[in-house]
Structure 1
Amino acid sequence: MTGHHGDDEYDYEALPDNTPLTASLLAGAFAGIAEHAVMYPVDSIKTRMQVLQPTPQAMYTGVINAATRISTTEGARTLWRGVNSVILGAGPAHALYFGTYEYTKEMFGGNQAGHHPLAAAGAGACATIASDALMNPFDVIKQRMQVHGSVYKNVMDCATKVWRAEGFRAFYISYPTTLTMTIPFQSIQFATYEYFRKALNPNGQYDPMTHIVSGGIAGGVAAAATTPLDVAKTLLQTRGEATDPRIRNCSGLTDAFKLIYQRQGMAGFAKGLQPRVLSHMPSTAICWSVYEYGKWFLRRQEDQQPILQ
């Protein structure tokens, strides 16, 4: 963003030129961990609702029903199973994500004055390809630990057993599907976020409420639009836990879509829509708020005392 600001204002949106990349990475890492950890129980419910072959004990009518039944029959801690995998992966993955986003947005001309939805969307797509490559195995472990009847003791136990039983491929079979989902998700999310942020706050000053509202809207819109792909991703990431040979041998996105349609019709593609939107609205709002605060804070520190490289 260009334009001269007074001494009491900070053009925080673009980090200063002499800021080391680590500053952007740290803001991103903290944002990622905050985003995933806070809404983790709702994500657990979403995973369970999307499983194609649920056990009778794991068939839920909605988010409240699922939360109540899981808490009473399996204990509230069950909703947090696998959270360590997300914390381990989310820090580095989000650091890479935001670092790539800032670098490519600048390269695509997204920091110039005015609306640049294509630059934001393109930067979002590049950021996603990089971060998902790092995050995918952690996501597989997380979902394996979230399903009903999961017997893994911890993240390491799950990783070792999946590796032994299904090999390296198990950790990346969903990567093409993940990208097919997250590239449109992030492109929609970034473009929506940038649009609302500039529309609600045209002068570009730091305003937490703008980031919360814009982030929430962006997260909800992107989550709803990409739910069918998320259902397919869950099927591929948890297929090793199924007893049904058709599910166990599901080989990719097209195969997953065919199977979901055969078993559940069009309704199958909306499985977990409610908890997905419910978790993404606040988590995206948290993520953007923490990230924008981090940028503002670093910019302010730099104005008071230049950051050493």
Structure 2
Amino acid sequence: MIRKGDESTKNVTTAGPVLQSRQKTDLGITPGQQIVASGTGAMITTLLVTPLDVVKIRLQAQVKPIGSVSISGHCFLYCNGLMDHVCTCINGGSVSKQWYNRGGHFNGVLDAFLKISRTEGILKLWSGLSPTLVMAVPATVLYYTAYDQLKYSMGYKYETSSSLIPVAAGGIARVFAVSVINPLELVRTKMQSRPLTFKEIVGCIRTAVQDGGILSLWRGWGPTVLRDVPFSCLLWFNFEILRARLMRLYHLEETTFPVSFVSGAVAAGIAAFFTNPFDVVKTHRQIELGEMDALKDVKRNPASTFLIIRRIYARSGMNGLYAGFIPRLGRVVPACAIMIGSYEFGKSFFQRYNEQHQR
């Protein structure tokens, strides 16, 4: 016969590993399950918000248009999807330059959508979707998985932990993801030029290393980090605070999709506002690097970040530093809301599955 006290002791002993794993690995979810949750969210987000990102870069690029010189054999790639990038590449140059110049001047977000759809076809709003998925999915998987693992390894717990833990975890995770994924930018831009076999991709990488050294594969790393790390720190700082407050407000014990969606949207909007000047600088610097590469102007060093900021401010004032802010806000807010909401929903699903499996 089992006494009531013995039964209680048995339950505590059985539940012990579950509670311990929750504290250490985000409520019991494994890294493999995090990868599935973040990868699924990345694919959904990319499909939904790619048109907004295309419009954002088009509007930003108007502040610094391409020169009128004709460069044979090169093309300028401004953006396509969530991963914006500019560089020069071989083959098909006239097509890409015509793609940039089509539609004339854009007077706003709606005008850009209409002109691109009418003059280039509605599918052009999803330009480069396949290579973008090649970049966005692994980058997002690395970023979100690293963030959660770092956050909980630092001892994060709801309600009691310092808000600096999400800031540190978000910043470190972004640097890690950018550093790992950055060399794949070369592959992605080549894929946007024309279909390539695996042998041709390897050849492109080998040529880039021979011409510019191994560090050429990390070109553009600095501007990307300068923009993305502050954004990541602000995003997770505000998200964790907002989520905790909403959970207290509605007396929730677990995060729900609406709570994650709203918290992610508000946090993303705040982060986007404060980091938009760096987003504009990143676009300008990539354009400048592309022009230097196309003209083989290896003697001239690219302008520093703060020099570019001064130039933009002198020419266009605050409007220049916040060029493309509305479409960026319209892309970043739903993208982060959908991504974080989907990711948290996937984690909740696996949490329930793991608990049921352990019982």
Matched with 2:254 is: 205
Matched with 1:152 is: 193
Greater CA drift, 117-126 or 55-64: 55-64
Matched, 1:182 2:228: yes
* Residues 231, 271 of structure 1: 8 Å contact kept: yes
Structure 1 residues 230-269: Cα deviation after superposition (integer angstroms, max 9, x where no partner): 01111222335548979x9634423432443354333211
Structure 1 residues 160-188: Cα deviation after superposition (integer angstroms, max 9, x where no partner): 59959x85766533211211111111111
* Residues 102, 119 of structure 2: 8 Å contact kept: no
Query: What is the CA-CA distance between 1:68 and the residue it aligns to?
Result: 0.4
Seen in structure 2, the aligned counterparts of structure 1 residues 41 and 155 have a Cα distance that, compared at 3 Å, is farther
Matched with 2:47 is: 37
Matched letter for residue 53 of structure 1: P
Matched with 1:220 is: 269
Greater CA drift, 282-291 or 233-242: 233-242
Relative contact order higher in (CA < 8 Å, ≥ 6 apart)? 1
Aligned-partner Cα distance in 1 for 2:288–2:267: 30
Aligned-partner Cα distance in 2 for 1:108–1:187: 15
Q: What is the DSSP-based 3-state SS (H/G/I as helix, E as strand, rest coil) of the residue aligned with 1:59?
A: coil
Greater CA drift, 35-44 or 199-208: 199-208
Unaligned runs of 5+ in 1: 146-150
2:279 to 212, 230, 248: 230
- Identity percentage of aligned residues: 25
Seen in structure 2, the aligned counterparts of structure 1 residues 33 and 116 have a Cα distance that, compared at 3 Å, is farther
Aligned-partner Cα distance in 2 for 1:130–1:80: 28
2:308 to 256, 260, 263: 256
Matched, 1:91 2:137: yes
Matched letter for residue 152 of structure 2: E
1:102 to 134, 148, 152: 148
In the superposition, the TM-score normalised over structure 2's length comes to 0.70
Matched with 1:75 is: 121
Q: What is the DSSP-based 3-state SS (H/G/I as helix, E as strand, rest coil) of the residue aligned with 2:139?
A: helix
2:106 to 42, 50, 60: 60
2:26 to 12, 15, 19: 15
Aligned-partner Cα distance in 1 for 2:145–2:346: 13
Aligned-partner Cα distance in 1 for 2:301–2:58: 20
* Residues 155, 161 of structure 2: 8 Å contact kept: no
Aligned-partner Cα distance in 2 for 1:118–1:154: 45
Unaligned runs of 5+ in 2: 1-11, 67-100
Query: What is the CA-CA distance between 1:135 and the residue it aligns to?
Result: 3.5
Cα RMSD (Å): 3.6
* Residues 29, 90 of structure 1: 8 Å contact kept: no
Matched with 1:277 is: 329
